[in-house]
């Protein structure tokens, strides 16, 4: 899971980044609204933690800009404690959840997990591409309506990412950003290993290698 943290307090940002990494997230940080807004529009994040009081561009402005352009990345806003109007403004601007400062990291982690679960549940718990059906709840796959096959966590994340971007070339580094779990610097050879495991499950022509570019999900026409 790839997370963007937009927070201008350097101490808080640094300690949150470490805690979030320990919890298994790949974390990018931005220290002002402009940079954060840019990252959120150009990179693919699974979730964003957004402080509202930011230099250059406020958190609310960042959120409004994203939502205006149909960027629906899940966002948790960090508000000042007891500032109820900030919470209201945040929700109006399109926030999915909020957390008042100061907070315990455990609460932030719980809210991130709950939000991701809620969002993933809303989006298709089961979806099919090219005869391959992925069941998100069971983390299993069904091929041409045949036998249900259980996937490991990494296989599931990798296949989900490929299927969501079916027909597009995904580089090894893009894929490792999304399946990142415990490694700070995921080895791109690991992706190759998992791609081969998926090919054994799905059939070897379901994932095409584009030499020097990456992988594409879907059979060649
Ligand atoms: Ca701030």
Average pLDDT, the chain: 87
CB 215 within 8 A of CB 209: yes
Using the Cα atoms of residue 57, residue 99, residue 74 and residue 163 in order, give the sign of their dihedral: positive
At 148-180, the pLDDT tens digits run 899 887 888 889 889 888 888 999 888 887 766
CB-side neighbour CA atoms (13 Å) of 173: 4
Q: 183: pLDDT confidence band, cut at 50, 70 and 90?
A: very low
Nearest residue to 200 (alpha-carbon basis) of 161, 149, 153, 157: 149
CA 138 to centroid of ligand 1, rounded, Å: 39
Output 220 or 25, whichever has higher pLDDT: 25
Domains and CATH numbers, the chain: 2-120 (3.40.50.2300), 126-217 (1.10.10.10)
CA of 55 to the centre of ligand 1 (A): 8
pLDDT band at 92 (very low <50, low <70, confident <90, very high): confident
At residue 190, the pLDDT reads: 81
Could you give the percent of the chain with pLDDT greater than 90? 48
Rama region for 113: left / alpha / beta (φ>0; ψ in -120 to 50; rest): alpha
Residue 220 CA to ligand 1 center (angstroms) comes to: 49
Give the pLDDT of residue 62.
97
- In terms of pLDDT, which residue wins out, 47 or 137? 47
Q: How far is the CA of 130 from the centre of ligand 1 (A)?
A: 46
* 51 CA → ligand 1 middle, Å: 6
Distance 198 CA to ligand 1 centre (A): 44
Cβ–Cβ < 8 Å for 185, 201: no
The answer to whether 49 and 16 are in contact (CB under 8 A) is: yes
């Amino acid at each position: 899971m790839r997370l963007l943290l937009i927070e201008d307090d350097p101490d808080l940002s640094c300690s949150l980044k470490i805690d979030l990494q320990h919890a298994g997230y790949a974390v990018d940080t931005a220290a002002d609204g402009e940079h954060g807004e840019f990252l959120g529009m150009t990179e693919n994040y699974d979730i964003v933690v957004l402080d509202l009081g930011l230099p250059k561009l406020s958190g609310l402005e960042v959120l409004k800009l994203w939502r205006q352009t149909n960027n629906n990345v899940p966002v948790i806003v960090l508000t000042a404690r007891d500032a109820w109007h900030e919470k209201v403004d945040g929700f109006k601007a399109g926030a999915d959840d909020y957390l008042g400062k100061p907070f315990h990291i455990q609460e932030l982690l719980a809210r991130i997990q709950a939000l991701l679960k809620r969002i993933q549940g809303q989006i298709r718990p089961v979806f099919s591409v090219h005869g391959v059906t992925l069941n998100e709840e069971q983390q299993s796959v069904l091929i041409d309506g045949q036998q249900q096959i259980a996937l490991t966590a990494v296989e599931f994340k990798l296949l989900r990412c490929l299927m969501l971007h079916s027909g597009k070339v995904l580089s090894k580094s893009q894929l490792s950003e999304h399946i990142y779990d415990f490694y700070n610097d995921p080895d791109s050879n690991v992706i190759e290993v998992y791609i081969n495991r998926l090919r054994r499950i799905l059939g070897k022509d379901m994932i095409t290698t584009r030499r020097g570019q990456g992988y594409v999900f879907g059979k060649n026409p």
